Amino acid sequence: MVNSDYLKNLNEAQKDAVTHLDGPLLIVAGAGSGKTKVLTSRIAHIIAEKKAFPNQILAVTFTNKAAKEMQNRVSKILGASAIGLSWLGTFHSICAKLLRKHASAVNLNSNFTIIDTDDQIRLIKNICKAENIDVKQLAPRYVLAIIDKWKNKGQYPNEVRINNKDVYEKTILPVYKIYQQKLTDLNACDFGDLILHAVKILEKNNDIRDIYSRNFKYILVDEYQDTNYIQSRWLNLLTQENKNLCCVGDDDQSIYSWRGAEIKNFLEFDQIYENTKVIRLEQNYRSTQNILSVASKLIANNQNRVGKTLKTSMEDGDLIKLNCYKNGKDEAIGISDELEKIRKKYSLNEVAILVRAIFQTREFEERFLKIGLPYRILGGTKFYERAEIKDCVAYLRIVHQDKDDLAFERIVNNPKRSVGDGSLKSIHEYSKKNSMSLELASRKMIEDNLIKPKTKIGLSFILNFLNKWRHDCNIKKINHVKLLQIILDESGYSAMLKNKKDMENENRLENIKELLSAMKEFDTLESFLEHVSLATSIDQDWDGQKVNMMTMHAAKGLEFEAVFLPGWEEGLFPHQKSIEEKGQNGLEEERRLAYVGVTRAKKKVIISFSMNRFYQGDWIDSMASRFIDELPTEHLEKNSFFEEEKNAIDDFEFNQDIEENDEDTIRSPGWLRYQKRIK
């Protein structure tokens, strides 16, 4: 049963965005303006008004979490009417779905494997080795970054045009050709391929494009400011028939150019799609007026933006605190003191420290450990990237798909089975010479007695069990959870971890237990493996009260009662590298990052900088970020450093506990330089 109240809870701009259903629509949604509510209400409205069936709506998000939240919200409004929203998901998951239906069009089978970054690096290393390319001089990660850049531009190897004077790209292009062919041979693709292949299928097959273009009556896209060229091209192809494309985003929160995002997709939307209606969501439901005033004044210094003015019905709230400290250690002490005060009012779970660079967390971690303040680091090693989890997944992948050489290579000698590098090299050579998978090559080499006796025992062991596990899976129909338990026991992997009783292995065993629990949420082995491949975020340990520490990039989409923004210093923030590489565009993106940081806060913002910072073994004199000069002073509360003074050195005070007094009387060059600047 449809909940008819979904329109009543919207303001006028939101209601306009929900009910405008004809033609292209750009929704400029400011931070905390309820864009998710608008998107979900719009989907509900389309279905409730019988403008389209659920399977005729394409809704695209950037994370699985966002997709799940959208699905849940629509279901709450529509009830059973929401069943059939089969095209709601991330760019990658939807393109993977399309690609499995039309895999043959790009020379793949429908059961292709989606490889992750580690697999990509191993593949690149193997190619570089075969081509006599020194990986010390040309890092595989750099090679992958360039290949990914080409894919984001929609270019297969034969479509890449390079500057012959660019030695690196000239070397990488042949690697790209071999890499892409190898993926085809493995019946695999990487993340970039999912969208690239989907686009090429739509471009080269008018009949397929017409099917999808006619089917999708309405297309909705979240976080449109983060799209790259190939994603934008994909959307353009799908709107050939119906022009009802609705894109939601905030150009002021475009902070991912380093991973290919192109803000011009957002800024030029009304030029690409004729008769575009632009609706601005400017009512903020998250932050106090002082926070919004500071954020708006700061971002107004950017030139490349659509423009909007955030407003709120909330009270003015606390002034934004601006604190200067002598050095990074004092900054950590000062912030810990502030936290002790804040935790009387807010849960630590509702407090975040957002840094520009991850190395900045070190001083806070040391301080918090010293005083016993609990914290968590968000954005560390992800669950599915932990070695023991990748091992488990590799076992499942090779059982699922016998051509998965990368999975085979990972598990064949894990645990140790006397299949060393030399033996593996021989198998690789035989595989290449005879154009077969590593597993099949191993079996043929055993048959032909081309394997050393000791290696033959270990290799035969794993090959026999692969046959047995596939029989368990395909014939006996043992579910994937039980299957993994069997694999871990029979392979010796569990015994390997249990035999060494230390904390690290105990943690690994706990992670595997958690993996088995997670697998229960999926009906099939294939759906679980696809989830692992496409996972963009994972649940963190939120148990207990802990201060959250993360980069400002990682904080995008989150909100907290109180936010600390340390390290606002020239060279660090804005980051020198960003300005050097991208000039004014880099500076504006850094400022958008500052805007994102400030607007994560509901009630309280504390910005700070230090005059000296210990970095890579040396003391670095620093100056306050230029962004601090752009903050409106009427909305700021400054610490004692900013008071008009005070000639006596003893009058120089900081609002934190001083633990070493012998250096307190030294004014650094950075301090003197800053004094000249603020006068």
> Would you name the residues annotated as active-site residues?
35-36, 222-223, 253, 600
Q: Exposed, middle or buried, 505 (CB in 10 Å: 0-12/13-18/19+)?
A: middle
Closest CA to 484 of 457, 510, 515: 515
Is residue 280 a contact partner of residue 13, using CB atoms and an 8 Å limit? Answer: yes
CA 305 to chain centre: 24
Q: Which residues contact 279 (CB under 8 A, 6 or more apart)?
A: 13, 16, 17, 20, 25, 26, 27, 28
- The answer to whether the beta carbons of residues 255 and 589 sit under 8 Å apart is yes
Tokens matching residue 271 = 């030029």
d(CA 252, CA 275): 23
Report the chain's terminal Cα–Cα distance, integer Å.
66
User: What's the CA gap between 408 and 421, in Å, rounded?
Assistant: 14
Closest among 224, 301, 299, 217 to 256, alpha carbons compared: 224
Is the bond preceding residue 632 a cis peptide, omega within 30 degrees?
no
The CA distance from 253 to 662, in Å, is: 44
| Of residues 372, 343, 379, 361, the one with CA closest to residue 604 | 343
Cα(133)–Cα(196) distance, integer angstroms: 27
Q: Which residues contact 441 (CB under 8 A, 6 or more apart)?
A: 427, 428, 430, 431, 434
- What span, in angstroms and rounded, lies between the C-alpha atoms of 333 and 658? 8
Asked whether 572 and 356 are in contact (CB, 8 A), the reply is: yes
Q: What is the largest CA-CA distance in the chain?
A: 89
* Contact by Cβ (8 Å): 227, 255: no
Q: What is the arrangement of strands in the sheet containing 218-221, beginning at the earlier edge strand? A: 88-90, 57-61, 218-221, 245-249, 25-29, 277-281
Consecutive H or E run containing 429: helix 421-434
Q: Is 602 helix (H, G, I), strand (E, B) or coil?
A: strand
Strand positions, DSSP E, 118-242: 188-189, 218-221
- Please return the burial class of 15, using the count of CB atoms within 10 Å of its CB with bins 0-12, 13-18 and 19+: middle
For residues 343 and 544, the answer to whether their CB atoms sit within 8 Å is no
Q: How far is the CA of 144 from the CAs of 169, 209, 413, in angstroms?
A: 11, 30, 26
Give yes or no for a contact between 288 and 312, defined as CB atoms under 8 angstroms apart: yes
Q: What is the CA radius of gyration of the chain?
A: 28
**DSSP 8-state symbol, 349:** G
What is residue 305's DSSP assignment?
A: S
> In terms of DSSP bridges, do strands 88-90 and 57-61 run parallel, antiparallel, or are they unpaired?
parallel
405: left (phi over 0), alpha (psi -120 to 50) or beta: alpha
Q: What secondary structure letter does DSSP report for 666?
A: P
Can you tell me the distance from the alpha carbon of 104 to that of 117, in angstroms, rounded to the nearest whole number? 24
